[in-house]
Structure 1
Amino acid sequence: MIAKTLAEQEALKYGLNNGIEVVSILPGLVIGPWLTTTSVITSAQTILALIGGNDKFYEVIKFLDFMLGSIPIVHIDDICNAHIFLMEHTNAQNRYICASDSLSLKSLKDFLAKHYVQLKNSLMLDDDEQIERYLPVSSKKLLDMGFSYKYGLPEAFKEAMEYVIKNELLKL
């Protein structure tokens, strides 16, 4: 995360100093169906760690929640559409956050337990769950330009879950 942030800062600075228009998009955790049928992308592994019990990726999502105060999420199609949208707008500049939803780790677990009852016993739970300090990550700048999301949290998770189950990428 640090390397990506530093690279983005340098690219924006270089563009500013050399008269080059640079626009960056900071996506939330990307979910939905993806290209490969034999492995799961890192972003999806992080989200699915809540269900599948991958300790390494579960620590990542806890860290993300701790650092940001919430977990931003975006569907793969929406991030692709945001790239196209910003390329087509000549007034786009600097950085844009792209996340249709932003919720606390506890809220995300509650969503999964409610919408995927069959997975409830597989959810990772902590006895020392941190105090919820929900600080939504905002896509306001992108939305103010006229961008709209096609997928919300329920649709994005539905497609992701159908994909991992169909391709047997999640072992419960």
Structure 2
Amino acid sequence: LSQAEIIDPAVKGTLNVLKSCVKSATVKRVIVTSSAAALFFTGKPMNQDSVVDETWFSDPMICQERKIWYQLSKTLAEIAAWDFAKENGVDMVTIHPGLVIGPFLQPSLSFSVEVILNLVNGNKSSPLSHFSVVDVRDVAEAHIKAFETPSASGRYCLVESSVPLSQVLGILHKLYPTLPLSDKCGEVDIMNLPGFGVSKEKAEGLGIKFIPLEESLKDTVECLKEKEFLLF
């Protein structure tokens, strides 16, 4: 997809929904599904001691320079949404999940689940060297709690674990010792970020009890088996 094909629908689609909400007499609060991609790309130095939280904003210029259009689309869509919400008095909350894994309902694979499938199959290198992961069930619960909790406000990071590829592979090997796991990271890491932490404090304050990474990975693989994407 081209830059325009990714960015225009993200920004215009978000604004169209918000405009409809303003016209409605019954909508009290809007929950926007953003992404951790709108947090991580600030341009400031990061290392394993860095902890990303809700005060971090990706810099559109950094995203543009690196030609990471998905991350740019999420960043621009969030900026546009907050500008619109403030101008029009919309009570809005944004949710920022990392790589979303766990059991899935749709017949096709998302990028996130496909990354796990390729690791387990062992036939493709990983596009990521570092994983900031959250379970889809926690993402769903966060949306509900953000909607139902009167005091919920602003932005919420949603990342259960932020770990290197080696740790993800270690968990998968422990769960499925006979599988031919891929231990290769692609030559081009699409995120190109060092190891870092992500704060869970605000999300936990909303009542989110994060599903552990090992459980999420196991349930992802079991769902892939159930839907016959994996045969073993």
TM (normalized to structure 1)?
0.78
2:92 aligned partner: 22
Q: How far apart in 2 are the matches of 1:164 and 1:117? A: 17
Q: How far apart in 2 are the matches of 1:25 and 1:107? A: 26
- Indicate if the aligned counterparts of 2:124 and 2:182 stay in contact, CA closer than 8 A: no
1:153 aligned partner: 213
Corresponding position: 1:102 with 2:162: yes
Q: Decide which structure has the larger Cα Rg and report it.
A: 2
Question: When the two structures are aligned, how many residues end up with a matched partner?
Answer: 157
Structure having greater relative contact order (Cα 8 Å, sep ≥ 6)? 1
Corresponding position: 1:32 with 2:102: yes
- The Cα of 1:153 is off from its aligned counterpart by 1.1
Report the AA paired with residue 135 of structure 1.
F
Corresponding position: 1:11 with 2:81: yes
- Indicate if the aligned counterparts of 2:145 and 2:206 stay in contact, CA closer than 8 A: no
Dislocated runs of 4+, deviation >6 Å: none
Q: How far apart in 2 are the matches of 1:126 and 1:3? A: 25
- The Cα of 1:50 is off from its aligned counterpart by 2.1
Identity of aligned residues (%): 31
Corresponding position: 1:77 with 2:137: yes
Alpha carbons of 1:76 and 1:91: their partners in 2 closer, same or farther (altered >3 Å)? same
Corresponding position: 1:115 with 2:163: no
Alpha carbons of 1:127 and 1:89: their partners in 2 closer, same or farther (altered >3 Å)? closer
Partner of 1:170, secondary structure, is: coil
Unaligned runs of 5+ in 2: 1-70
Alpha carbons of 1:6 and 1:75: their partners in 2 closer, same or farther (altered >3 Å)? same
> Which of 119, 133, 137 is the equivalent residue of 1:50?
119
1:68 aligned partner: none
- The Cα of 1:114 is off from its aligned counterpart by 2.3
- The Cα of 1:80 is off from its aligned counterpart by 0.6
Report the AA paired with residue 206 of structure 2.
M
Q: How far apart in 2 are the matches of 1:49 and 1:148? A: 28
Corresponding position: 1:142 with 2:212: no
CA-atom RMSD, angstroms? 2.5
2:29 aligned partner: none
